[in-house]
Structure 1
């Protein structure tokens, strides 16, 4: 309910970890509403347990959330990042992608990899020196960039058509994503 958006400093949130408390702000209300609405559309491919499938799913949700909110909310806010986290991701995107590709994380079905990169956490763990600096759920950020690149390179497709695509590898092949 609305009591989930009273601001990180709200006394009732004291027992909640800081990285989760940061999302309990009023600006997240339309994002949460859009996410809840999109969750009813069954956009996830449960037959594909790879990290890239989860990334594409989260990317589709983010892209559709932007559209549902009339592009009135910053992308960083849609993805749940503070400005300094967004800045880090924007500057480190190519390095993060390079590590994910080199370490063959994209096609990993290991739940630990998914947990380290796609699940809510104070930071993401790629196994590099920058681990403590990479914001949590980095897979969501890269997934958004991948899906956005696909959409930009396939303007003949509507958003509705794009979010219905269940083949994550199609996004990888056809997005021409090059951070």
Structure 2
């Protein structure tokens, strides 16, 4: 650990700050192709910040800034020999790290799916930088989060729905704690960072939120190379129910005059993760509004060509003609 402190002081004396990392890093499961020939996609090296912190070895200068930011966010304070030792001795961190390594030990098979996502991102969003991604043991309930242009992936949140310590989570959350969720979650976190829901209207409509969520789902599918069902996180029976009852759900939304309501709680109840969509009933899978939103966007794209970045702006999701143009 003393080696780390000496290095940090040396870097600051020379440059005045710690340089941001050059390589994006990540751990993820083996997932469907993101498109393009594998040979043409450069895999991304996986840097394990969790391993570096537990070993106390931060001699790799690309890990210094991410470690500092993480310590500040997680309440450990300034990164130094003392706080690093406290972190490394934390029993819960060690327990989660051991479990994480049992699932995420082999990093080589995970580098190419993330490389494909980065290639897709650079193609679809050429004016936006792909963030540096760091594998950690996350101290938060949030599994993937961003800070200071860095993206942290809590691998301890992707150990499988049957992992015993997950028992306290409700089932609708626990079933999403699988390796297969990692790529969609990373894609969504990056997209929400760069293209948050930011309506210009003081009182945005429910329709604008549905259109935004639908655009987000389409962008995630194209970035991560996964299906609509995988992005939404539904099992086969839930997806089958939604497809069978799509018209009924839409007619309910229209009939109850939800579309142009400016009730933010109503919008949230339609799109937020939940055991069921309460405004429809307990038989309807949670966040059914996202499914409807994507179906509208899908219909829109069948009729009009529009770049994905534009879909994620108020120019689209607050457009007065978007629904009409979708012919949904």
TM over 0.5: yes
d(CA) in 1 for partners of 2:310, 2:264: 29
| 1:39 equivalent among 167, 177, 192 | 192
State the 1:37 CA deviation.
1.1
Aligned residue in 2 for 1:119: 272
State the 1:168 CA deviation.
4.7
- Structure ranking higher in strand proportion: 2
Higher relative contact order (CA 8 A, sep 6+): 1
Instruction: Indicate whether 1:66 and 2:221 are aligned.
Output: yes
Moved over 6 A (4+): none
| 2:287 equivalent among 123, 137, 143 | 137
Aligned residue in 2 for 1:81: 234
Give 5+ residue unaligned stretches, structure 2.
1-153
| 1:9 equivalent among 162, 167, 176 | 162
Bigger shift: 105-114 or 83-92? 105-114
Aligned residue in 2 for 1:50: 205
For residues 116-146 of structure 1, the C-alpha deviation after alignment (integer angstroms, 9 at most, x for no partner) is 322211001235xxx1210001111000111
| 1:160 equivalent among 303, 309, 316 | 309
Maintained 8 Å contact 1:100/1:126: no
d(CA) in 2 for partners of 1:84, 1:46: 34
* Equivalenced residues, count: 171
For residues 44-76 of structure 1, the C-alpha deviation after alignment (integer angstroms, 9 at most, x for no partner) is 233343211111111111000111013xx2211
- The CA RMSD measured in Å over matched residues stands at 1.6
Maintained 8 Å contact 1:151/1:162: no
Maintained 8 Å contact 2:199/2:318: no
Maintained 8 Å contact 1:52/1:168: no
- When residues 149 and 13 of structure 1 are mapped into structure 2, their CA distance, relative to the original with a 3 A threshold, is same
Aligned residue in 1 for 2:324: 173
Aligned residue in 2 for 1:108: 261
d(CA) in 2 for partners of 1:158, 1:117: 26
For residues 91-117 of structure 1, the C-alpha deviation after alignment (integer angstroms, 9 at most, x for no partner) is 000000000000001111223322332
- Find the structure with the greater CA-based Rg: 2
d(CA) in 2 for partners of 1:43, 1:166: 12
- When residues 44 and 169 of structure 1 are mapped into structure 2, their CA distance, relative to the original with a 3 A threshold, is farther
For residues 74-93 of structure 1, the C-alpha deviation after alignment (integer angstroms, 9 at most, x for no partner) is 21111111111100000000
d(CA) in 1 for partners of 2:233, 2:275: 12
- When residues 116 and 158 of structure 1 are mapped into structure 2, their CA distance, relative to the original with a 3 A threshold, is closer
